[in-house]
Structures are given as C-alpha cells and as structure tokens.
A and B are shown apart, each in its own frame.
Chain A
C-alpha cells in the first residue's frame, strides 16, 4: 500500500461492492487481482435491455463492453461514437488522466452508472445522429469528416 494519496481498492473489494449493489441480472467472477462483472442495463423504461460486462485487472483501467444486443448491427453501418473498439463494443466512459476514474474509486459508483448513461445517449444517437452526451475526441485526422457525417439529421 502506498502511503501517499488515497488507498487503491483491490479487485476483491471492487467485487464485493459490485455484489452488494443489487444490479439486475448480475453475476461475475473473481480471481486473484482480476474480476469480471456482468449486469443488465436499461437506461429508461422504454429502452432496450443491454448486457454489459466490466473487466478489471488490478493496476490497469476497467473496461466496459456491451455484450448484447449487437450495437454495430443497431447502428446499421454508422461508426459508433465514443468507443474504443467496435465489436464487441468497448465503450469510452471517462477521460484518462483527469481523475474521473482512479484505482481508489469504486467501479460500482463510476463505471456502472456511466455505462447506463452511455447507453441512454446511444439510443438518442441512433435516432438523431447526434451525440448529446458531450465528451472529448482524441485528435485524429478524419475527425471533421466523421462529425459532419454524424450530423445528418431529422426535420
């Protein structure tokens, strides 16, 4: 344990807090220094029911994957916004280096609600073509092109 700064949580502590959160359809597995946790996320009563898996290795950053339904299929050919990886979809929930997530924070208080929020904005994006959840894009050359494509809108 480091004496400077807040105390890092172990995978077992993260696992225990996920277990007590009573998320619907939740189950997971814990091995030394590593955990997987799956749960059902439904952002709104009219939303789809999504299956989300959180993978965490102590000392690394947690990954959130949407296992079902297939988001790429729902996007119908459009590039998904705010993801690290398209299939299975690994979603980007926080800005690295800002302290939004740190190893001393509980996954259940951060990654889990953020995943639900991401899925809410995802369904909105499906209909509007615009990401209303805000956020940052890493600097890439074709960013401008992508944004203009995202902007094809109703009305």
Chain B
C-alpha cells in the first residue's frame, strides 16, 4: 500500500491485511437496476410513511387515541382493587356450614366433654339423679 499511514503496523502487516480483505472480485450488480430498485424502495417507504401520517390525521384514529389515553388515565388514577376480599370469603364458607347451627344446642353441650371426671362418672350421676 503506497498510502502513508500513521498507525504502528509494519508494511508486511499492512500487506497481510490488504490481502485478507481483497479476496475474490466483488460480483458487482448492474448499477442501473440497482438504482431503479433503490428508487422503488424509497418511493414505497415514502408512500407508507405518508399513508401512516394520513391515517393518524383522520378523526377516527384521533378519537380512538384519546379514548385509549383516557382509559389508561382512569386506570392509573382509580386502580381497580384486585385483591380478594377475605371477609367475604369467610362469610361464604360459614354460610355453607349453616346446617351446623341447627344443632347448636348439641354443640353447646359438647362443652361437657371437657369435664372428663363428669364423663367418667356419668352413669353414677344419672343414677343418683334418677
């Protein structure tokens, strides 16, 4: 390479890099076709961008955007409480067991079970009472 370089590579190293980057001949395209394709791509891109701008300029998308923005704002300002209501759950479970309360008297007397001495001497107490 004849160009003066201000790097710290030796001429051998530069030649090595030049050979590594040279490789086979680049298969060049037909430039006329290339430019025509580029112009078509650019036109398509500009048309798409213009179409998008026109779409956003219509009243419906603007109304839709405002609607979505308002919904988001409402959601942020008044968040829906999505935590489960534990007391309501409790009530529901208790409601399912309401049948137990029909025998409340029996349940109340179960306290007697705590009096083991009384239970052990139940026959005697009954006979004494009798």
A binds B: no
